[in-house]
Structure 1
Amino acid sequence: MHSILPTLLVLLAGTVLSAEPKLYVANALTNEGLFTDGIEGPACDEQGNIFCVKFGGEHTLGKTTPDGCAELFLDLPAGSKANGIRFGPDGLMYVADYTGHNILRINPETKETEVFAHEAEMSQPNDLAITIEGHLYASDPNWGEGTGRVWRIDRQGKVTCVVEGMGTTNGIDVSPDGETLYVNESDQRKVWAFTIGSEGELMDKRLIKEFPAQGMDGMRVDVKGNLYITRHGKGTVVKLSPQGEVMQEIKLPGSKPSNLCFGGKDGRTVYVTEMEHGQIVQFRVDQPGLEWKRMQERVALNKERKPLRFYRQAAVQEVCAWPNLTLSRDGSILAVLHNQPGHGTMEGDIECWASTNGLRWEKRSTITQHAPNTIRMNHAAGLAGNGDLVVLCSGWTNEKQAERPKQAEFRDAILGNWVLRSKDGGLSWDKQESFPKAEAGWTEYIPFGDICQGADGALHVSCYQGEYLDAAISSKTKGYRSWHFRSDDDGWTWKAVSLIGPRHNETTLFHLGGKSWLAAARVDAMDMFRSDDDGLTWTSLPRATERNEINGHLMRMKDGQLMLTYGVRIPGRYGVCAKFSDDEGRTWSGAVRIAHSYVWDCGYPSSVQLANGQIVTAYYSKDTPEYSGYQMGVAVWEATTRLTAENNK
């Protein structure tokens, strides 16, 4: 018995291991002839179904289950013939209609089909790529002339030619970081890479691979950025590194592969449309496809908790904002925001806007009047004991400093704080330059978050600063620390009380009551600190957020819970979320989704709760479903369920 048992275990283990198909070995998924010899454009949905064009006819889309059962999905509009298919961040299907010169948009649930974009100047279009923001790129070959172009279609359906004068453009996809577009030329057998500019333009064209024979067709990338390219006429799929090195070549049961996609339960099954036999072929790979990963992220995002009732808008457009909301004593909402569409690289100021309900906003004033060649942008705000609105504001100068060489634009030095005060709800302002100066080797103090009143009437705020690498050479810093400041004259003068976060930057304060305070401090996540001696000393609490969930704001709800709103800069989850605590910040509930962003450049939320119980959350983003461009976004919503760390498990 002792000699047989190990042998049985080895045999059983070998049986289990052999159940996993070998990598890069292809076999047929569907029977031959279910599709015409024009089969193309595969794309997988959330359930793993594979959609391809030309199921038993020229004007159709077919749907194939992961176990190979194929059926007609829909007949296309009269005159339309399809090629490339992509699923967008909105869950809709985008289809290249090469005879109608259209991009069709199809609701996969209702099968409702509409023309999303039309361009008569297109030769086709042929294949599609899609960015994480939902913008499309379409290859457009002219087979008769051996030339090609690339078009960009934004989320509103605007079509722009971004590349001309190429060969027969065909396979096309975007790198995982969204910074590179790959395009291959079928007849010329070349694979090109372009850098994607900030407005979607293509530049820095460079050749990464040229094959000596046989053409190319569809192309997709995996999560590592490797390219899988169908070799039409050779009967293979080649795997290239982002630098163009051949890593694998997979032989297929058919000589005319046309396109491919990633799917399966783990995203590591590649489905290939093969024209010679009119079927779908499959093989396993080592990494999931990028498009599959993005779809899983979208599924997870859709499962996040959301308010039952909410309204979102781009309330102030073309501003980077970083807003701070203050609820005035008359019930109006005052928003202090930065008024330029960028991260401090141009002259600018902070402004005051107002609203009674969070839905309609009007500008009341420009708070600061910046000196020439400077920018005023970083700020903290809150009510003084007498009801005045108090604002602290720093910024950057573009003037060369005597102690070091000229730096990058508007990065020569951080400006000292101005203390600003309005007695009329933000219509007019008084200014003092009385804030403490920094010690040698450190930048000036940068304000952040709310100005809060303590139990004894004193005002409290947090500022942070950076330690110079070498102040004689550069304004760059090697680390940060955040401070607790106090004012005993209702906000006119300030003094440093204590260090809150020894390696933290943007920190927001909240008064828990009595001598107790809570601080949410940014590092790579939101670290929590508590003081029970009016800010003289601080102790750390468990972290409230994950990595890259940053720039928080604290508020107490009318039901007694604390609410932390914060920006999310995790790929696939960009936007703003909220968590709740019923134990004064020691533990937090799961996330509630407040706003979406297409890009990482987002967050910095600030919230108030109105008398009717509605919550108004302001934030910034460079690109949202509501507006493409920098904006102060606003969500008006209701927390209809009491959320705690315990009931979220």
Structure 2
Amino acid sequence: MTSTTLHQPECILDLRATLGEGPVWIAGEKSLYFVDILEAKIHRFTPSSRDHQTWSAPDRVAFLLPVADGTFLAGMPDGLRRFDPRTGGFSDHTIVEAEKPRNRLNDGCVDPQGHVWFGTMDDGEENPSGSIYRIVHDESGLHITHHDEGYTVSNGPAVSPCGKVLYVCDSPEQTIYAFDIKEDGDLENERIFARLDDGYPDGIVTDSEGTVWCGTWGGGRVARFKPDGTELPPIPMPVTNVTKVAFGGDDLKTVFVTTARKGLEAETLKKEPQAGSLFAFRTDVSGVPQQVFRLNG
């Protein structure tokens, strides 16, 4: 990053992805991983060296979440696989929602306890057939539990730094919901956390103060909300489709932003030639260190 001005986005990788999504900062590599869902590509970008590596996946990858053994849990259209960046290979296919062939996995996160939360959606973005799931791995293997349903396009999810609140978006409804997470992982006290009037809530993360940062599809900004739902001033972006942010850098105060070209008219793309690229800016509050999916935990 060359800019030191707070909240001033700059394009750091002129990638022009069709549907850039799912950024995660891997501190040990000082690199950002993210995906282009529609192009079935996985990207790794190292800001210090500008090194950019790309892998082709066997199908669309909606999210990548780091696992304790150095691999990633990859959300594929019909289930979960393990991706190993050291070999570029995929393995351990676990089917999710076999009874709903129109659905696909969409977004996910790792909570402070090392468990994964992810959602599904109707691939045609028409029916409220999506659900929210939790994954725990113990000595007997992988356990996937169902926790909520009725989402047309589930997005997020994100967990508060204390690990006690889950945030989930239903993007077409322009709504972010909040749940309390019980000790056993069940959800309770569903409530509306925030609504967007302009654009649609996409990926969300929380920072070290519990503020919720939300990419806005069609909204051209990163929206921000205090833990009580009060909206803070947004961060304007130079492109319309803002998908998700990740905090990175040595101090976790660099905000990386993925974006998308999908659905933009030719006239809009002329005005936003870098739509789909990777952006970054500095902020004054640190993010939360990226958690890893805990095996046998």
TM-score band w.r.t. shorter chain: 0.7 to 0.9
**1:70–1:185 distance in 2 versus 1, CA, 3 Å:** farther
Alignment partner of 2:111 out of 110, 131, 144: 131
Residue identity opposite 1:38 in structure 2: L
2:63–2:106 Cα contact (<8 Å) kept: yes
Could you tell me which residue of structure 2 aligns to residue 282 of structure 1?
Answer: 280
CA RMSD of aligned residues (A): 2.4
Residue identity opposite 2:79 in structure 1: N
Report the CA distance between 1:176 and its aligned residue: 0.9
Residue identity opposite 1:291 in structure 2: P
**1:258–1:85 distance in 2 versus 1, CA, 3 Å:** same
Could you tell me which residue of structure 1 aligns to residue 73 of structure 2?
Answer: 94
Report the CA distance between 1:70 and its aligned residue: 5.3
SS of equivalent to 1:176? coil
Alignment partner of 2:254 out of 249, 261, 269: 269
Could you tell me which residue of structure 1 aligns to residue 127 of structure 2?
Answer: 145
Superposed CA deviations along residues 385-440 of structure 1, whole A, max 9, x for unmatched, are: xxxxxxxxxxxxxxxxxxxxxxxxxxxxxxxxxxxxxxxxxxxxxxxxxxxxxxxx
Task: Identify, as 1 or 2, the structure richer in strand.
Answer: 2
Report the CA distance between 1:82 and its aligned residue: 0.7
Residue identity opposite 2:7 in structure 1: Y
Gaps of 5+ in 1: 1-18, 299-597, 599-624, 629-649
**1:179–1:89 distance in 2 versus 1, CA, 3 Å:** farther
**Identity between Structure 1 and Structure 2 (%):** 24
Report the CA distance between 1:68 and its aligned residue: 7.5
Residue identity opposite 2:276 in structure 1: G
2:221 pairs with 1:236: yes
Report the CA distance between 1:121 and its aligned residue: 4.0
2:13 pairs with 1:30: yes
Alignment partner of 1:84 out of 35, 45, 63: 63
**1:181–1:88 distance in 2 versus 1, CA, 3 Å:** farther
Which structure has the larger Rg over C-alpha atoms? 1
**1:206–1:157 distance in 2 versus 1, CA, 3 Å:** same
Could you tell me which residue of structure 2 aligns to residue 106 of structure 1?
Answer: 83
Residue identity opposite 1:129 in structure 2: C
Alignment partner of 2:159 out of 160, 166, 174: 174
Report the CA distance between 1:282 and its aligned residue: 0.8
**1:62–1:70 distance in 2 versus 1, CA, 3 Å:** farther
Report the CA distance between 1:54 and its aligned residue: 2.7
Alignment partner of 2:52 out of 47, 71, 79: 71
1:62–1:70 Cα contact (<8 Å) kept: no
**1:174–1:88 distance in 2 versus 1, CA, 3 Å:** farther
Distance 1:109 1:180 in 2: 34
Report the CA distance between 1:181 and its aligned residue: 0.8
Residue identity opposite 1:54 in structure 2: D
Report the CA distance between 1:203 and its aligned residue: 1.3
SS of equivalent to 2:158? strand
Alignment partner of 2:230 out of 239, 245, 248: 245
1:124–1:140 Cα contact (<8 Å) kept: yes
Could you tell me which residue of structure 2 aligns to residue 53 of structure 1?
Answer: 35
1:60–1:72 Cα contact (<8 Å) kept: no
Distance 2:167 2:49 in 1: 30
1:88–1:134 Cα contact (<8 Å) kept: no
TM-score, with structure 2 as normaliser = 0.84
Distance 2:135 2:99 in 1: 14
1:28–1:253 Cα contact (<8 Å) kept: no
Gaps of 5+ in 2: 262-274
TM-score, with structure 1 as normaliser = 0.40
Superposed CA deviations along residues 143-166 of structure 1, whole A, max 9, x for unmatched, are: 121453101122232222110124
1:61–1:75 Cα contact (<8 Å) kept: yes
Report the CA distance between 1:35 and its aligned residue: 4.3
SS of equivalent to 1:291? coil
SS of equivalent to 2:200? coil
2:149 pairs with 1:164: yes
Superposed CA deviations along residues 525-580 of structure 1, whole A, max 9, x for unmatched, are: xxxxxxxxxxxxxxxxxxxxxxxxxxxxxxxxxxxxxxxxxxxxxxxxxxxxxxxx
1:268–1:288 Cα contact (<8 Å) kept: yes
2:17–2:259 Cα contact (<8 Å) kept: no
Report the CA distance between 1:107 and its aligned residue: 2.7
Distance 1:35 1:27 in 2: 14
Report the CA distance between 1:108 and its aligned residue: 3.1
- Identify which of structures 1 and 2 has the higher relative contact order when contacts are C-alpha pairs closer than 8 Å and 6+ apart: 2
Report the CA distance between 1:89 and its aligned residue: 4.2
Alignment partner of 1:39 out of 6, 17, 20: 20
Distance 2:48 2:73 in 1: 24
The number of aligned residues is: 274
Report the CA distance between 1:210 and its aligned residue: 1.2
Distance 1:178 1:220 in 2: 13
1:217–1:259 Cα contact (<8 Å) kept: yes
SS of equivalent to 1:58? coil
Q: How does 1:232-631 map to 2 (within 5 A)?
A: 232-276=217-261, 277-292=275-290, 294=291
**1:223–1:117 distance in 2 versus 1, CA, 3 Å:** farther
**1:97–1:60 distance in 2 versus 1, CA, 3 Å:** same
Distance 1:173 1:239 in 2: 13
1:151–1:161 Cα contact (<8 Å) kept: yes
Could you tell me which residue of structure 2 aligns to residue 117 of structure 1?
Answer: 94
Superposed CA deviations along residues 584-613 of structure 1, whole A, max 9, x for unmatched, are: xxxxxxxxxxxxxx7xxxxxxxxxxxxxxx
Distance 1:239 1:231 in 2: 10
1:89–1:133 Cα contact (<8 Å) kept: no
